[in-house]
Amino acid sequence: MDTELTRRAVAATLLGGVTAGGVLSPGRGYLERFAALSGQSWRRATGPRGGSVESPYGPATITYDEHRVPTVEAESELAGYFAVGYAQGTDRLFQMDLYRRRMRGELAAVVGQPGLESDRFHRRMDFAAAAEATWQRVQDTPIEEPIKAYVDGVNAAREREPLPIEFGLLNYEASPWTPVDTFLMEKQISWGLTGSFRTLRRATIADALDDAVFEELFPSTFDHEAPIVRSDIDGQVRGRAEAGGTPGSRASHEATAMHLDPETVASLSRFAWPTGIGSNSWAVNGEQTASGRGLMANDPHLLLTAPPLWYEQRHAFDGREVHGVTFPGVPFVVIGHNDHGGWGVTNAGADVIDFYRYDTDGDTYQYGDSRRAFETREETIEVAGAPDVAVEVRKTVHGPVISRERETVAVGWTGFTGTATALAVYKLAKSRGLGDVEDALRDFDLPTQNFVYASDTGETLYQLVGRIPRREVDGEPVYGDRVFDGSAPEGEWEGFEPYGQSSWDGFVPFEEKPAVVNPDWIGTANQRIVDHPKHPIGRGYANPFRAIRLQERLESLVERGDVTAAEMRSLQRDTVDHRARLLAEPIRAAASSTQAEFVAPLAAWDYRMDRESEAALVFDLIWRAYREELYATAFAERGLDSERYWPPDWVTATLPPDAAWFQRLGRSRAEVLRAAIERAQKTIRETGQQQYGERNVVDIAHPFEQSFLGYRAVVTDGSPATLFNVRRTSLAGSSWRQVVAGGGPAQGILPGGNSGDYYSEQYQDQLGDWANGRYRALVGADGDPAVRFHGGDSG
């Protein structure tokens, strides 16, 4: 009897314990996420539902091709954009939710403490209010209703389709998508491209180095002959100064008059994209092509993530076929082509962000003749698994405030106001040629981009787009690469209303921005735009290695004539590294007798950073070691610990033997190069590597940092300085490659897959082709639609 009772007691205790573990946290949380059959992480494992879907906007279909690129066909525009929303909401919902959370400062609510610093920064910048102002800006314009239809489509997918695995892993549900969320996506990419702390970084570096060294290592402009608008360019040129050079060209770092803590600036830089992010885009006029159609190519070098930053889609409604890529969360094709032409963008390096210091006591600040209180409010950040955290959001008349200890600066950025870029992009899809495109670009407020277009009738266009502030100090135009005295006030932007609607009155007029109508060819790679612009534009241009190579090859092709799309693709795959052209010979000359054999492969090298190349491996190792030898210790000794403070690569590659920096180091260039070679030899001895491909491995991660969600590692060609572009250390590179002949045919490729669904066959199906420089034809999908929309009144 006692034994029976004991057995029952033990069994009851075990049963109760398991039941309690299944009901109470954390056991309950694990089971909810991962249990067989009901686990949230497995909801999507059996694929999306698709099928028949009710739409208030009328009939439409989504047909996917073998790479899960949707072709949306609809009887009306609104029915079409509802379907586009449904497609994106099905394929990329977690990515969309993650990005809006980042921009709203709501990451910590799902990822806990690791998201807290990001949330603090994004709350203080108040991107949400800027997106709200942007949504207000485009209401009562032709895109208001399409955006509402798109948002309804996203929410239909959110409610109807099984949620992606990430929601299960993090154990939360997606809240409804809103139009403001769509504009947060615009703010995110614009911040990434133009939200630079370069001004603060330069001020910090100038503070740490003596003037001669600073001027040598951080020149305002790079000395090269390959600006976008070259002096010998044909076509109708706009935005170039007639004579006397550009106003406001004097150096301005001395004017900052502010000590900035390097650690503070470095920590802020974590919320900007890595330096050196760039892109290639070019166009060849129909008079120079074999087909008579204009040719254009574009490959934006953005962050490489799983899934990719871009979502590829094709629309066939409203009398237009449009094919290209957009950012998930944005309904309109950003880079692509329609029946009449193709377009693309590269970052312009224009300066659209300023910083202002104040005479302040902490609560108030001097502004002209008056004393003003900071506009202040407190917000609460929810943190998963920890108590809520309060954050103070402060603003001045110029914009949001960043405060660290005793330092206070306000940030003025053209994205902190209502912008109409989405309207411009919408109009591009409907364009029927050059005139329509130029008209559309007038609304392209943000980000500042080099826009390139080629039409089916052979026309070409280069236009700098985006609002560019004009600043004055003491009545003189100046560049924005200084910290302005906000109390004076100086350098203010006329017609700019932070978090409201701006008139843009004091900004560079559209007609005075650099542009070339119908050039024979145009080549952009984030380099200096024009030698003497009519107005100061900026100085944040990229190293010109890619630009030099691009223009050299384009010029040669056009001289020969009858240029083809295949040659454009070949150019996009070009792996010649101009850094190597500049440095290979000095390396060989500096090598000691014991190092000669090691550097011998550089002698007969074609400077191509190809995976099977031994010379490319040797150069890559020496290049990295050379930078380390030049800057690591010396900059750290000056308080500049982060690699972000190191000089641009153009300076490193062209630093002459008699440079002041070598005197400061107390070593000759040859000695530094020999030390770099020695380090490279040591690496080879340790790793046994024989070819560049053993180092040039791209391992694209998922933002959630679960290894199984990341892509498989792939070997590829190219370097940060080649047209076939990859930055394996900062995980950036060609985020989309596109070559278009007028209104088609077109080819493209994504670094991964179009589906963001981990379980999908198309999660990373394009990765190998991307790494190997292959393309897909950008054509519409045929076959049976995966989703049919019915109902509504046809919009």
User: CB of residue 169 vs other proteins: minimum separation in angstroms?
Assistant: 7
User: CB of residue 173 vs other proteins: minimum separation in angstroms?
Assistant: 16
User: CB of residue 654 vs other proteins: minimum separation in angstroms?
Assistant: 47
Cross-strand pairs, 260: none
Compare residues 54 and 761 and give the one whose CB is closer to other proteins: 761
Compare residues 26 and 666 and give the one whose CB is closer to other proteins: 26
Task: Tell which one of 433, 473, 759, 779 touches other proteins (CB under 8 A).
Answer: 759
Stretch that binds other proteins, among 24-32, 401-409, 607-615, 719-727 (CB under 8 A): 24-32
Task: Tell which one of 1, 26, 37, 556 touches other proteins (CB under 8 A).
Answer: 37
Q: In the stretch 141-170, what mask flags binding to other proteins with x, by CB under 8 A?
A: ------------------------x---x-
Q: Which two tokens stand for residue 282?
A: 């070019």
User: CB of residue 168 vs other proteins: minimum separation in angstroms?
Assistant: 9
Burial classification of residue 24, based on how many CB atoms lie within 10 Å of its CB (0-12 exposed, 13-18 middle, 19 or more buried) = exposed
Task: Tell which one of 3, 24, 25, 34 touches other proteins (CB under 8 A).
Answer: 34
- Interaction of residue 386 with other proteins, rule CB under 8 A: no
CA distances for 32 relative to 6, 17, 380, 616, 788, angstroms: 33, 17, 28, 51, 32
Cross-strand pairs, 455: 341
Query: Which of 496, 523, 526, 490 is closest to 508 using CA atoms?
Result: 496
Q: What residues contact residue 610 under an 8 Å CB cut-off, 6+ apart?
A: 575, 616, 692, 693, 717
- Interaction of residue 45 with other proteins, rule CB under 8 A: yes
- Interaction of residue 20 with other proteins, rule CB under 8 A: no
User: CB of residue 33 vs other proteins: minimum separation in angstroms?
Assistant: 7
Compare residues 11 and 373 and give the one whose CB is closer to other proteins: 11
Q: Which helix (H) or strand (E) holds 697?
A: strand 697-698
User: How many residues belong to the site for other proteins (CB under 8 A)?
Assistant: 33
Q: Which helix (H) or strand (E) holds 27?
A: helix 27-34
CA distances for 787 relative to 47, 83, 222, 342, 530, angstroms: 13, 9, 53, 28, 49
Task: Tell which one of 25, 39, 492, 677 touches other proteins (CB under 8 A).
Answer: 39
Q: Which two tokens stand for residue 492?
A: 């203010």
Task: Tell which one of 645, 758, 770, 789 touches other proteins (CB under 8 A).
Answer: 758
Q: What is the largest CA-CA distance in the chain?
A: 109
At 329, the amino acid letter reads G
- Interaction of residue 41 with other proteins, rule CB under 8 A: yes
- Map residue 280 onto helix, strand or coil: strand
- Residue 730's region, left for phi above 0, alpha for psi from -120 to 50, else beta, is alpha
Say how far residue 238 (Cα) sits from the centre of its chain. Answer: 27
Compare residues 480 and 752 and give the one whose CB is closer to other proteins: 752
Compare residues 19 and 175 and give the one whose CB is closer to other proteins: 19
Compare residues 26 and 319 and give the one whose CB is closer to other proteins: 26
- Map residue 648 onto helix, strand or coil: coil
Q: Which two tokens stand for residue 161?
A: 């389709």
User: CB of residue 698 vs other proteins: minimum separation in angstroms?
Assistant: 20
- Interaction of residue 42 with other proteins, rule CB under 8 A: yes
- Interaction of residue 38 with other proteins, rule CB under 8 A: yes
User: CB of residue 67 vs other proteins: minimum separation in angstroms?
Assistant: 16
**Does residue 114 have a cis peptide bond before it, meaning omega lies within 30 degrees of 0?**
no
Compare residues 165 and 726 and give the one whose CB is closer to other proteins: 165
Residues 686-715 that bind other proteins (CB under 8 A): 706, 708
Task: Tell which one of 24, 35, 386, 713 touches other proteins (CB under 8 A).
Answer: 35
Compare residues 12 and 713 and give the one whose CB is closer to other proteins: 12
CA distances for 123 relative to 116, 191, 196, 380, 447, angstroms: 10, 14, 18, 10, 21
User: CB of residue 707 vs other proteins: minimum separation in angstroms?
Assistant: 8
Q: What residues contact residue 448 under an 8 Å CB cut-off, 6+ apart?
A: 193, 194, 347, 348, 349, 350, 352, 414, 464, 465, 466, 467, 468, 538
CA distance 761 to 352: 41
Task: Tell which one of 31, 241, 517, 660 touches other proteins (CB under 8 A).
Answer: 31
Give ∠ CA 734-736-742 in degrees, rounded to 5: 125
Compare residues 33 and 253 and give the one whose CB is closer to other proteins: 33
- Interaction of residue 1 with other proteins, rule CB under 8 A: no
Compare residues 257 and 713 and give the one whose CB is closer to other proteins: 713
Task: Tell which one of 54, 210, 761, 793 touches other proteins (CB under 8 A).
Answer: 761
- Interaction of residue 24 with other proteins, rule CB under 8 A: no
Q: In the stretch 168-187, what mask flags binding to other proteins with x, by CB under 8 A?
A: -x------------------
Task: Tell which one of 23, 24, 589, 636 touches other proteins (CB under 8 A).
Answer: 23
User: CB of residue 211 vs other proteins: minimum separation in angstroms?
Assistant: 56
Phi/psi at 544 (nearest 5 deg)? -90, 15
Q: Check: CB of residue 108 under 8 Å from CB of residue 381.
A: yes
Stretch that binds other proteins, among 15-23, 62-70, 113-121, 657-665 (CB under 8 A): 15-23
Query: Which of 44, 539, 16 is closest to 253 using CA atoms?
Result: 539
- Interaction of residue 94 with other proteins, rule CB under 8 A: no
Residues within the interface to other proteins (CB under 8 A):
7-8, 10-12, 14-15, 18-19, 22-23, 30-39, 41-42, 45-47, 165, 169, 706, 708, 758-759, 761
